[in-house]
Chains A and B, each alone.
Chain A
Amino acid sequence: MSAPSRRRFATPLDFERGQVELSHGSGGRAMAQLIEELFAAAFRNPWLDQRNDQACLELPPGRIAMTTDSYVVSPLFFPGGDIGSLAVHGTVNDLAMAGARPLHLSAGFILEAGFPLAELRRIVESMARAARAAGVTIVTGDTKVVEHGKGDGVFINTAGIGVIPEGIELSGDRARPGDGVLLSGSLGDHGVAVMAQRSGLEFETALESDSAALHELVAVMVATAPGLRCLRDPTRGGLAATLNEIADQSGVGIRLWETAIPVKPPVAAVCELLGLDPLYVANEGKLVAICPPEDVDRLLAAMRAHPLGAAAALVGTVREDAHHFVTMETRLGGQRMVDWLSGEQLPRIC
């Protein structure tokens, strides 16, 4: 975007008192102004500056990983993040779980008429910061505006592409009996931080969402343990859903040890009060790794040496099981199933 183009608009957008209007999505001058003064200014990069309807990219060699995710979290701002940073981290992490180096994102915004421009700017700037910190560029985008009452402020969709370095083969169908199940840190921080912000549930906790981009941790892990079988981030449905997916894909059972699973005391306390199980609460900055038994110690040490894996733990093992059950040895010394989540535990947390 070149400097003179800024003068095309008589008055700049009012980021203090202004609101999103239907015209901001209608393809006319108002939309051009919103894109120029907000999105292009915040996300700035050569591809976006070309102002084409698509970004034309040259990618380094390797297989391409591609993913997409939509973000509808409520509330839009929560301790430790907001819908903007979440929309970057979530998509970056989905790429990273294939071992890919995330490169570029797209960003689609569905805005509700009447939404304050000041909040939209906060979100967009947070998104830009998260993207810069993760080393990815937002190279193309889209804006739509729906009538007041037909949305909930802001919905964001991001798609992402990344490149998988030669020789890396991670997939949910590669878990084998005897493999170790590693978790990069404590469970439930994101879901509980978001829940604690909701009206009617005012908890006085200092809890923050764990929302973070995990690709650098993944790069360390992949370098340390080339035999790594599978990575996955336990977002919606929590650890329970993630492990059930892997057990199904790989045709194995998984046994967890309850005493080995890290849960922060305030998270455990809020879960206790609300009748939630931390195993089912969403995370946005954690990953599960399955690796051959001989790699467990080395991988765990490497994870713990990284700030995002400081509390990493070996939490279970892969077993033969024709039913593909995920079970857990309870701290009491008994057993239980860790089944798929049924219904919804916490709606709209990502």
Chain B
Amino acid sequence: MKYIDEFRDGAAARGLARQLAVEIQPDREYRLMEFCGGHTHAIYRYGVQDLLPAGIRMIHGPGCPVCVLPVGRLDMALDLATRPNVTLCSYGDMLRVPGSGGQSLLRAKAAGAEIRMIYSAAEALELARRHSEREVVFFAIGFETTTPPTALVIQQAAALDLPNFSVFCNHVLTPPAIVHLLDSPEARELDAVAIDGFLGPAHVSVVIGSRPYEAFASGYHKPVVIAGFEPLDVMQSILMLVRQLNEGRAEVENQYTRAVTRDGNAKAQRLVAEILEPRSVFEWRGLGPVPRSALQIRAPYARFDAERRFALEPRTVPDHRACQCGAVLRGAIKPTDCKVFGTACTPETPLGACMVSAEGACAAYYSYGRYQEAA
């Protein structure tokens, strides 16, 4: 596969591994957080961790949109899905996440709720156009990468004056979450996570650019490298972080130059800003309430806002008692440190979201990395 295989090349990977081994300082531990679950999966799916020197410790971050959505928001979606005449459109990963009382969208669907798995926001809009007799609600989740398509369908619905389409908006923002990890008294009280540097998600920066991390990098003196999702991207980005740390630098560097610029995609940013605005505060699983870390639909588009249209009550629901997804999402523990990992909590019977999502750290460990624990 052109443009893909080059970034999964074994010989190049061994070259980068040798370079890392040469450049790391032997008496030092490099604690690097890959913010995004996409990176976690690339690391485990391709076996990147086997190529890294022992001094490099990867800490998995909260960048998994399915994982960080708290039970309360999922319960709101379940509430929507079971209302008469509602068709709820959701990305596939969300379907198996357990809500309150073990309920999930998949179970609600099996019990008769009209829930459709979709691949794009545009599919939800199309469904609303074809089924004017149904209330079609798009369960929108995701970081900045998936936000512009959501804004676009709202804009299109407004242009079409569609009376039966709305969006349950759960879009969250990356930079505030990274700041919160280091800064919030809650996070620091829960468990002190020492992180030396961050791999930033490239797909997010295709939209927002690399600039939003600059104040953070200098203010907290933590290097950030915007990293692509292919295994060689990840390895090269780790090398770039190691070099910054060795040289005492804390800058924002861009490894994913093939798509990321400093300013990002201005058109997408304008579209998002026209339709959506920051919420004053939003609850994250694992991080708790984080100020200005999520988006809501602006007042002129209120009729497309499912929260207002269906008068959804916000709710806060604690995670399953045994589930330690919160600590996993903060990078405080490894998935295998969780008491229920691989026993009560497996991909077939997940207790928490991290075991469900294709970007969840627990799912990555379980599906790809379990041989290490057995060895």
Contacts and interface: CB of A to CB of B under 8 A. Distances in A.
B45 interface: yes
Given A275-B358, A332-B8, A339 B50 contact: no
Nearest to B358: A275
A54 interface: no
Is chain B's interface secondary structure helix, strand, loop, or mixed overall?
helix
Given A200-B119, A272-B1, A334 B371 contact: no
Interface string B192-224: 000000000000000000000000000000000
Interface residues of A, number: 24
B46 A330 contact: yes
A337 interface: yes
B336 to A, nearest CB: 13
A140 to B, nearest CB: 35
Given A200-B119, A333-B13, A336-B47, A268 B367 contact: no
B106 to A, nearest CB: 8
Nearest to B373: A323
Interface in A291-350: 323, 325, 327, 329-337, 339, 342-343
Residue picked from B44, B48, B51, B367, most chain A C-beta under 10 Å: B367
A261 to B, nearest CB: 13
A272 B47 contact: no
Contacts of B118: 200
A133 interface: no
A201 interface: yes
A325 B13 contact: no
A334 B51 contact: yes
A342 B348 contact: yes
Contact of A335 (B10, B50, B367): B50
A27 interface: no
Contacts of B358: 275
Contacts of A201: 119
B370 interface: yes
A334 B367 CA distance: 15
A125 B50 CA distance: 54
B55 interface: no
B10 A333 contact: yes
4 tightest A-B CB contacts, nearest first = A334-B47, A342-B347, A334-B50, A330-B47
6 contacts: A274-B119, A332-B8, A332-B47, A333-B10, A336-B368, A339-B366
